Amino acid sequence: MMPGTATRALAGALPRFSVLALILLASWLAFPGYFDVTVNDGRLYGSLIDVLNRGAPVAILAIGMTLVIATGGVDLSVGAVMAVSGAVAATLIADGQPLAVALAAALGAGVLCGLWNGILVAVLDIQPIVATLILMVTGRGIAQLVTEGAIVTFVDESLIFIGSGAVAGMPMPVVIAAVLAAAAVLLVRRTALGMFIEAIGVNRRASVQAGLNVRVVLIAVYVASGFCAALAGVIVAADIRGADANNAGLWLELDAILAVVLGGASLLGGRFSILMSIVGALIIQAMNTGILISGFPPEFNLILKAAIVVVILVLQSPQAGRIAAAIAARTGITRRR
């Protein structure tokens, strides 16, 4: 219906997909079995599946982070919120509560955390980086209080299933991430929410004057981010069958921000694409997995990661955008002006 928008979106997606393809290709060169997928006990196995599975928590974080960043904010607390929700879920399950109670409490804790962030940002007008820094620090404290300083382990199969089970062959975390992504895309693109979020990110003053309920939208995106973080936290806890308040989700807020930036969103707010952010998350995970299986010492991981990030950011610069447009034109995709 809107060929202009569609081609523009395609041209924007091109550099990200090419980088992802390059990383996969390089991994394959280093490890010939990379693309092999095997079926075992009705579950898919292989490096590619591993990328998806390991990338799911960051992809889920990136969904919420995308919305927050699109409003011109940032949520530094998502790693800590993961620890909180993991701790809540693990503690309740270990206490013999049913899965539904544990899940509701864990996700509810994430929503409360998001509400707190949202109120600090939208009502008290505290800069997002500072406002969410508060919970980034205290969140781990709260998580430790919940677990009483110990690593809480559990053997409840229903919770473990969320971390390492499979549906139709796909690992559960991948299924959850895919469903959440689809729901999020529908929520923001089939309602006017996406437009409101972008308008606030581009020009908050003009959005207020156009009659938008800016406060409510801002609170909503932080709540969404808190929810996503809680879900990721439950998955990670379920995967390791325990809650580690100190290390669960540690530094993952940075991976989530990076995923969104790799997905092409500006930290100043505005246009966003949830799907591209997920591609960003997969790029990060493909790098991690690729370096791991290619036998490079893990010390290289960080340096290589940095190098690839630089490459992507260069590709995203306006100058490189023109080059990409030229390539797109040569391959027959015409850009409407």
Partner 1 sequence: MAHPSPLLEARGLGKSFLGQTALDGVDFTLRAGEVHALLGENGAGKSTLVKVLTGVHRRDAGTILMDGAEVAPHDTAGAQALGIGTVYQEVNLLPNLSVAENIFLGRQPRRFGLVDRRAMERNTRTLLAGYGLAIDVAAPLGRFSVAVQQIVAIARAVDLSGRVLILDEPTASLDRQEVETLFAVVRRLKARGLGIIFITHFLDQVFALADRVTVLRNGRRIDTVAVADTDPMAIVQMMLGRDLEEVESGPGRPAAAAGAAPAIAFEGYGRRRSVEPFDLAIRPGEVIGIAGLLGSGRTETARLLFGLDAADSGTVRIDGRSVRIASPRHAVALGFGYCPEDRKTDGIVGDLSVRENIVLALQARRGWLRPLSRAEQAELADRFVAALDIRTTDIEKPVKLLSGGNQQKAVLARWLATEPRFLILDEPTRGIDVGAHAEIIRLINRLCDGGMSLVVISSEFDELVVCSSRIVVLRDRRHVGELAGGALTATAIMRTIAAGGADDRTEAA
CB-based contacts of 201, cutoff 8 Å, min separation 6: 69, 70, 71, 72, 268, 269, 270, 272
Say whether residue 195 binds partner 1 (CB under 8 A).
Answer: yes
Say whether residue 119 binds partner 1 (CB under 8 A).
Answer: no
Say whether residue 210 binds partner 1 (CB under 8 A).
Answer: yes
Task: Draw the binding track, 269-308, toward partner 1 (x: CB under 8 A; -: no contact).
Answer: -xx-------------------------------------
The least distance separating partner 1 from the CB of residue 50, rounded to whole angstroms, comes to: 37
Of residues 168, 190, 330, 331, which one binds partner 1 by CB under 8 A?
Answer: 190
Say whether residue 205 binds partner 1 (CB under 8 A).
Answer: yes
Of residues 116, 196, 222, 227, which one binds partner 1 by CB under 8 A?
Answer: 196
Say whether residue 318 binds partner 1 (CB under 8 A).
Answer: no
d(CA 206, CA 183): 29
Rounded to 5 degrees, φ, ψ at 317 are: -65, 150
Say whether residue 246 binds partner 1 (CB under 8 A).
Answer: no
For 292, counting Cβ atoms within 10 Å of its Cβ (0-12 exposed, 13-18 middle, 19+ buried), the class is: middle
Of residues 42, 96, 211, 332, which one binds partner 1 by CB under 8 A?
Answer: 211
Say whether residue 203 binds partner 1 (CB under 8 A).
Answer: yes
Say whether residue 337 binds partner 1 (CB under 8 A).
Answer: yes
Say whether residue 321 binds partner 1 (CB under 8 A).
Answer: no
Cβ pair 224, 64 in contact under 8 A: yes
Say whether residue 336 binds partner 1 (CB under 8 A).
Answer: yes
Task: Specify the residue, 4 or 33, whose C-beta has the smaller distance to partner 1.
Answer: 4
Say whether residue 330 binds partner 1 (CB under 8 A).
Answer: no
Of residues 23, 68, 212, 230, which one binds partner 1 by CB under 8 A?
Answer: 212
Site of interaction with partner 1 (CB under 8 A): 1-2, 4-5, 190-193, 195-196, 198-199, 202-203, 205-213, 217, 270-271, 336-337
